[in-house]
Amino acid sequence: MHVAALADPVWPPPAPAVSWREIASHRGYLVRFARRKLRDAALAEDAVHDVFEAVLGGRASFGGRSTLRSWLAAILKHKIVDLLRQQRGDLSLDDEDADEALQSLACPGPRPDELAEQRERLLATLERIAAMPKGEREAVELSFVHGQSTDEVCRRLAITKGTLFVRIHRARKRFLS
């Protein structure tokens, strides 16, 4: 075989074309993500707007090396970090009130012991989900673990919305028992 036949003539492969509709379909997820991180609905909306502006303005382009949602979430994380840096940017260590200001910068995230407890609860929850009957397990995993919409879950499982709601209701009852 000829060596040229083995070489791929197009490398790297071209980035997949992504429509605005596909990008906009992730808005709800991005806003929820930003609200959890920023704890401010208006700032969350602004951050998501900045993500869409960066994508539409060509400052960010989807290379196809991850899912579209992961790529958008990564851009959003950077926007959130930039926003937090801007908010804290007026802090000077030379100020008289620097000690008070530095104390206000305490990490808003959970402490290590809280993280460990959260991980244990998550593992226990995932184990309970894995032990469910197949139909209920698939409904819960797609809806809550993967965050898919009701329509997406119904289409993927080839079931009606009523059937999906029944499965989720039964799964919730299992958790409460």
Q: Choose which CATH entry (1.10.1740, 1.10.4160, 1.20.120, 3.30.310) describes domain 1-89.
A: 1.10.1740
Confidence at residue 174, expressed as pLDDT on a 0 to 100 scale: 85
Q: Choose which CATH entry (3.10.20.30, 3.20.20.30, 3.40.50.720, 1.10.10.10) describes domain 110-177.
A: 1.10.10.10
Confidence at residue 13, expressed as pLDDT on a 0 to 100 scale: 45
Q: Note the residue count of the chain.
A: 177
Report the candidate in 173, 163, 174, 121 with the shortest Cα–Cα distance to residue 139: 163
Token look-up 């009957």 returns 133
Instruction: Enumerate residue ranges in the chain where pLDDT < 50.
Output: 1-15, 91-93, 98, 101-102
Confidence at residue 65, expressed as pLDDT on a 0 to 100 scale: 72
Confidence at residue 108, expressed as pLDDT on a 0 to 100 scale: 65
Cβ atoms of residues 108 and 102 within 8 Å: no
Confidence at residue 135, expressed as pLDDT on a 0 to 100 scale: 93
pLDDT digit string (tens) for 130-155? 999 999 999 999 998 889 999 999 99
Position 112, amino acid:
P
Annotated domain spans of the chain: 1-89, 110-177
User: Is the pTM value of this prediction over 0.85?
Assistant: no
CB burial of residue 148 (10 Å; 0-12, 13-18, 19+): middle
CB burial of residue 139 (10 Å; 0-12, 13-18, 19+): buried
Cβ atoms of residues 83 and 47 within 8 Å: yes
